[in-house]
Structure 1
Amino acid sequence: MNREQISEIAHADHPIKSPLDDDSVSRLLEQGLPRGDERVLDLGCGTAEWLLRALATRPHLHAEGVDVSEVALARARQAARARGVDEHLVLHQRAAADFGSSEPFDLVISVGATHAFGGLVPTLAAARGHMAPGGRVLIGEAFWDRDPSPAAVETFGDLADLATTVDRVVADGWTPVHGHVSSRAELDAYEWACWGSLAAWALDHPADPAAAQVLETANARRSQWLHGYRDSFGFVCLVLRRTSE
């Protein structure tokens, strides 16, 4: 079973692929979409869950998503049809860094996908290129909540702390107008959901040739979280506007 298939199973019960609960997602969308008729773009949208949730209560939005995964986009299209919002959603299969549009967007989303651009500041530069005057960016990024263990650094790399992360955003010419730091409950719920979904799938499909691999992955990732990064990993989402247009 490949990495994409494992990810799909892991997020079956947590389609927002970040440590955020439903209320947090709703508040972030409210801050990013104050009118309800905006043009919104998600760079690295996966199954487009952010866009689908935005469209669920804002029927006048125009939403576009970009992702390299054919499987994820197919599921997004299926979900959009099931929720009756497919006429308002346009999906593009390509690398987010290569996407271009003839019209700008009022909100650009990139939550948990800054790796696609090589980091936080390059992601903001890409988002700015798609943003309409007066527009906003909703970005989500990992940070170290306290000094990490060597195992945590090996997993996530050289993250900054929260203050440094925000300082980098401000130094790049952005002003946070809303922010959310994932709580311990959100962080734990996300990890339990991911590795629990994997483990449950393996136990429910004992005859599948991939069952042993999936269960091993679930056990290894749960252990990696509990012993490696649970006490040091943090996640922040920021709604940003340009300090000067």
Structure 2
Amino acid sequence: MTVASTPHDDLPPRLTRLTFHGPLSEARATGMVRRLAATRPSTVLDIGCGWGELMLRLLDALPQAQGLGVDLREEDLRRGRHNAKARGLTERVRFVRESAVGTRRGPADVVLCLGASQALGEGLGPALRELRRLVADGGRVLLGEGFWQRTPTEAELARMWPGASATDHHDLATLTDLAVAAGFRPEWIETASLAEWEEFESAYQADTEVWLAANPGHPLATETRARLDTHRAAWLTYRGVLGLTYLTLVPTTT
């Protein structure tokens, strides 16, 4: 029997063009995995993991390691579980739907927190202190965090996300100093390139843009068009203004 389609069956797939949920190239990810694997961790904790692509790659490189990803979006967690099964990692990784605020999931040898420090609570300083609590001595934290490449103007802030403020991010030097103050030394400091940003932001919307071009009369087209146009305008405004750094942090011992 053929089941009649509903008006929403033709919605686009979500984020299929993205490998990582952030501006991260294959080359940079390979280097990160190699550097983190060299410490021979046995446990990996991914805060705000999404579908946990970098964690899965790290587990691929470490046949004895166990991984745990924590996030609140079940759709992304399902994608992570599916990818783990396809790679034969089901016995070594779990994806758990829960808040990371005050989590007792640590300590772990490697803690990943890629664009997700807000999952640990309000403010970067407290989030960094939480990361120090969650990482084992001798381990590593890989933090992906936004920073201002230059101070945005008021006109630029008005075209970014709702309520955008110059206080939403620090500059890179201040951000790194906060990590040191929280009990880390920076082993590696790198920043996403403009090419990585463009790849990410284009892929973020590509599925929906193609769908909208083919379905301009769909009941959700007006809402979808407004969302796409708003996000694109914000991205093209913070392009070259908002950066993203990847800090590989070593916990100091007391």
TM-score by length of 2: 0.84
Q: Tell me which of 127, 130, 137 is aligned to 1:133.
A: 137
Q: Tell me which of 186, 190, 193 is aligned to 1:176.
A: 186
Name the CA distance, whole Å, in 2 between partners of 1:204 and 1:83.
34
Q: Secondary structure at the match of 2:232?
A: helix
Bigger mean CA offset, 232-241 vs 124-133: 124-133
Name the CA distance, whole Å, in 2 between partners of 1:243 and 1:37.
17
CA contact (8 A) 2:68 2:94 kept: yes
Question: Structure 1, residues 129-163: CA drift from partner, whole Å, max 9, x if none?
Answer: 22222111110100010121325445254211111
| Corresponding position: 1:105 with 2:103 | no
**Cα distance, 1:168 vs structure 2:** 1.4
Name the amino acid aligned to 1:135. G
Q: Tell me which of 81, 85, 92 is aligned to 2:85.
A: 81
CA contact (8 A) 2:137 2:252 kept: no
Structure 1 pair 148/65, CA: closer, same or farther in 2 (3 Å)? same
**Cα distance, 1:118 vs structure 2:** 1.6
Mark the runs of 5 or more structure 1 residues left unpaired by the alignment. 1-5
Name the amino acid aligned to 1:210. L
Name the CA distance, whole Å, in 2 between partners of 1:208 and 1:85.
40
Q: Tell me which of 119, 137, 141 is aligned to 2:123.
A: 119
Name the amino acid aligned to 1:186. E
Q: Specify the alignment match of 2:243 in structure 1.
A: 234
Name the amino acid aligned to 2:227. T
Runs of 4+ in structure 1 displaced over 4 angstroms? 204-208
Name the CA distance, whole Å, in 2 between partners of 1:32 and 1:214.
40
Name the amino acid aligned to 1:230. R
Q: Tell me which of 183, 191, 198 is aligned to 1:188.
A: 198
Name the CA distance, whole Å, in 1 between partners of 2:110 and 2:41.
11
CA contact (8 A) 1:141 1:235 kept: yes
Q: Specify the alignment match of 1:3 in structure 2.
A: none
**Cα distance, 1:37 vs structure 2:** 4.8
Q: Specify the alignment match of 2:173 in structure 1.
A: 163
RMSD: 2.3
CA contact (8 A) 1:143 1:160 kept: yes
Name the CA distance, whole Å, in 2 between partners of 1:205 and 1:71.
24
Structure 1 pair 63/152, CA: closer, same or farther in 2 (3 Å)? farther
| Corresponding position: 1:243 with 2:252 | yes
CA contact (8 A) 2:190 2:247 kept: yes
TM-score by length of 1: 0.87
Question: Structure 1, residues 216-245: CA drift from partner, whole Å, max 9, x if none?
Answer: 32222112221x211311000101012334
Which one has the largest radius of gyration? 2
Q: Secondary structure at the match of 1:95?
A: coil
Q: Secondary structure at the match of 1:139?
A: strand
| Corresponding position: 1:51 with 2:61 | no
CA contact (8 A) 2:49 2:69 kept: yes
Name the amino acid aligned to 2:140. R
Q: Secondary structure at the match of 1:97?
A: coil
Q: Tell me which of 34, 46, 71 is aligned to 1:42.
A: 46
Name the CA distance, whole Å, in 1 between partners of 2:174 and 2:131.
20
- The number of residue pairs the alignment matches comes to 237
| Corresponding position: 1:23 with 2:41 | no
Question: Structure 1, residues 57-78: CA drift from partner, whole Å, max 9, x if none?
Answer: 3322211111112222122111
Q: Secondary structure at the match of 1:163?
A: helix
Name the amino acid aligned to 1:66. V
Name the CA distance, whole Å, in 2 between partners of 1:225 and 1:43.
25
Name the amino acid aligned to 2:117. T
Identify, as 1 or 2, the structure richer in helix. 1
